[in-house]
Amino acid sequence: MRSEDDKKYLANKHKGGTANSKGLLYEDYYAVLQIASCVAYHFKDCNSISFQTQLEDAYVDDLLIKYPNINVYHQLKNSKHLSWETKFSKRTIASDFEKQIEECEERKENFSLKLVHSSLNSKVENSIPKSISKYTITQYFPSYDDINSMVLSDENFQLVLTTLSANGKESKNDELCIIATIILGAWKALPNRNSLCLLDIVRKAEEVKHFNLSFYPPKGISDECAKILNAVEGLDFHIRGRMLYWKLGTVTGCCPWNEDKERMVIEKHPSTKLDFLMIF
């Protein structure tokens, strides 16, 4: 049973979290990493995984990811200095985790807690209080100025995005940045943060024509269309997923591939490099 002090504390805690725009940006970037990871490694369970932010009724309240078999509560701290305990305060990160554990255990919930932080020299990894250590892990996640910096700086994120990308290990950095940017846009565009199904996030991202993932089956191309493109001198092309990728000398590009595009190629029948570039 929560005391009146607990109720007031949670109300103020949530109000403070939603008012911190820099903190929300940090949380958004971390959410993009988790969304991408879930899509890359749990795509078959997309309809059974959900994301919730700024939980109004939780002590560990920044992000909750509900997997089919476990709920993972996240507290994110974008701070240079971080510790489990705070002098002269009864309300600390450790006490919040203790309260969350208590309530999850009362509900007989299968759960874990994670402290995500940007404090490079923090000792929180090696000093998890015994009272919460059974359910708690920590993760270092740097603070980035923009999503492209995150892609270019985080090797783990690059690996996840490479797994997602239709071009796999052949993917260039700009392709990976596009995937990350589209996921971020989908995440921020969906209004209901109380419970966002992972599949809904993917569907929102798919509204962008250049969103192309490794497990999308390749679009077909007719023999007639392929013959026309193969006749363009110096042109190399291939279709992966929803996109046609092409190269003319040092110039490369891609475009969504569909029946309308194929019909255009057949109608215009490009025979030179310039003809091709006028279409693509």
pLDDT at 11 over 80: no
Nearest one of 177, 104, 113, 160 to 139, comparing CA atoms:
113
Which has the minimum average pLDDT: 65-74, 78-87, 89-98? 78-87
pLDDT tens digits for range 86-130: 766 788 999 999 999 999 999 999 999 999 999 988 889 999 999
Strand 251-256 versus strand 50-53 pairing type: unpaired
Tell me what pLDDT residue 23 has: 67
Q: Which of 155, 147, 71, 79 is nearest to 116 (CA)?
A: 79
28-53 per-residue burial string, b: 16 or more CB within 10 A, e: under 16:
ebbbbbbbbbbbbeebeebeebbbbb
Q: Are 42 and 70 in contact (CB under 8 A)?
A: no
Does 16 have pLDDT greater than 60? Answer: no
The pTM score is 0.88
**Residue where the block lists tokens 């709920």:** 71
34, pLDDT greater than 60: yes
Least confident segment among 23-27, 187-191, 248-252, 253-257: 23-27
Average pLDDT, stretch 64-76? Answer: 97
Question: 85 CB contacts (<8 Å, ≥6 apart)?
Answer: 92, 93, 94, 129
Please write the tens of the pLDDT for every residue from 134-177.
Answer: 999 999 999 999 999 999 999 999 999 999 999 999 899 999 99
Q: Describe the crossing of helices 21-41 and 173-189 by its angle, rounded to 10 degrees.
A: 110
Delimit the domains of the chain by residue range: 4-205, 223-279
Residue 63 belongs to what H/E stretch?
strand 63-66
In this structure, what token pair is assigned to residue 189? 């565009």
Structural element, H or E, at residue 246: strand 243-248
Question: How far apart are the C-alpha atoms of 204 and 140, rounded to whole Å?
Answer: 29
- For residues 269 and 57, which has the higher predicted lDDT (pLDDT)? 269
Could you tell me which of 148, 138, 145 has the C-alpha nearest to residue 173?
148
Mind listing the pLDDT tens digit for each residue in 180-238?
999 999 999 987 777 899 999 999 999 998 899 999 998 899 999 999 999 999 999 99
Query: Rounded to whole angstroms, how far apart are CA atoms 25 and 91?
Result: 24
What is the structure's pLDDT at 19?
46
